[in-house]
Amino acid sequence: MYGYVRPCKGELKVREYELFKARYCGLCHALKKGYGPFARFLVNYDFTFLSMLLQSPEESEQICSKRCPVSPFRKKSCCVQTEALSAAADGSVLLGWWKLRDSASDKGFFRGIPYRTAALLFTPAMRRAAKRRPELSSKIKDLLDELGGIENSQLASLDAPADCFGRLLSSFSVFVSADDAAPLGQLLYHIGRWVYIIDALDDIEEDAGSGSYNPLILRFKADKSGLSEEDRQYVSVTLKHSAAIAAAAFELMKKNEWTSILSNIIYLGLPETAERVFAGTWDANKKEK
């Protein structure tokens, strides 16, 4: 997936960082349990964040110790599977499969072969996830089809594709109670919008070279050298606007065991990621664990 929605590690307490890693491992094990060992390749920070948001305030987190391919000899702390982790795993498979299909289409025939192969391997998992979450699967397909139409038309708009991806992420609010559904839907909408724009910003140089759709290139007539200072300011304000609304929606939600880590991600992690992408240092840091 994307991996832009992550905590500011330097501002986490040691205990919080260990809990976050346990949650990440919990999602990895939930993917393996529900969809087989290869599904572990879909684990990512964004859906770890989602799993924490979906956690019921009444539910106490339980930690166990498990081995995995990354740590076969030494057991690692891992969150016990909950409904929130199961939902995040299902969403990871559904969105991950469509993302592979989209990447295969963007890359052309030869460069798209690895993505088509991966999508083929994950097709049984996708069908299983679609059977478990038929409404969500249908919603994701419809919105990604809409997004694909926008991208294929080479629409020189930043808001249209970002809005579509925001609506896609907001569909995950169906997993929480009615009281939290509205603020969570608003939060996820603006996180989705933020992710789409930051991803477009991060990919300007690559997309300018390959000719792939990028709303920033079309909207601001940018090239491999990137955006002008004025255009960078415009994008920065747009990102800050969505992050601020996401934060306001977050404050309306009920608190749970993950609130302090979620606060770190929203108030510190998002700005840190944006700063790195604008500075061109994201590639050197995005694989940090």
The reply to whether 4 falls in a domain is: no
pLDDT confidence of residue 196: 96
The reply to whether 111 falls in a domain is: yes
Please write down the HEC assignment for all residues of 52-111: HHHCCCCCCCCEEEEEECCEEEEEEEEECCCHHHHHHHHHHHHHHHHHHHHHHHHHHHHH
pLDDT in tens, 95-126: 988 878 777 776 666 777 887 888 888 899 99
CA separation (Å) from 82 to 86, 88, 116? Answer: 6, 10, 32
Domain total of the chain: 1
The reply to whether 3 falls in a domain is: no
pLDDT confidence of residue 289: 45
The reply to whether 254 falls in a domain is: yes
pLDDT confidence of residue 165: 96
pLDDT confidence of residue 109: 66
Q: Which domain holds residue 133?
A: 9-285
The reply to whether 180 falls in a domain is: yes
The reply to whether 113 falls in a domain is: yes
Measured in degrees and rounded to the nearest 5, phi and psi for residue 215 equal -60, -30
**In sequence order, what are the beta bridge partners of 71?**
68
pLDDT in tens, 163-216: 999 999 999 998 887 778 999 999 999 999 999 999 999 999 989 988 889 999
The reply to whether 2 falls in a domain is: no
Longest CA–CA separation in the chain, Å: 53
Q: What CATH number does the domain containing 81 carry?
A: 1.10.600.10
The reply to whether 90 falls in a domain is: yes
With a cut of 70, list the residues of the chain below it in pLDDT. Answer: 1, 106-109, 284-289
pLDDT confidence of residue 287: 45
Please state whether the predicted TM-score (pTM) of the whole model is above 0.85: yes
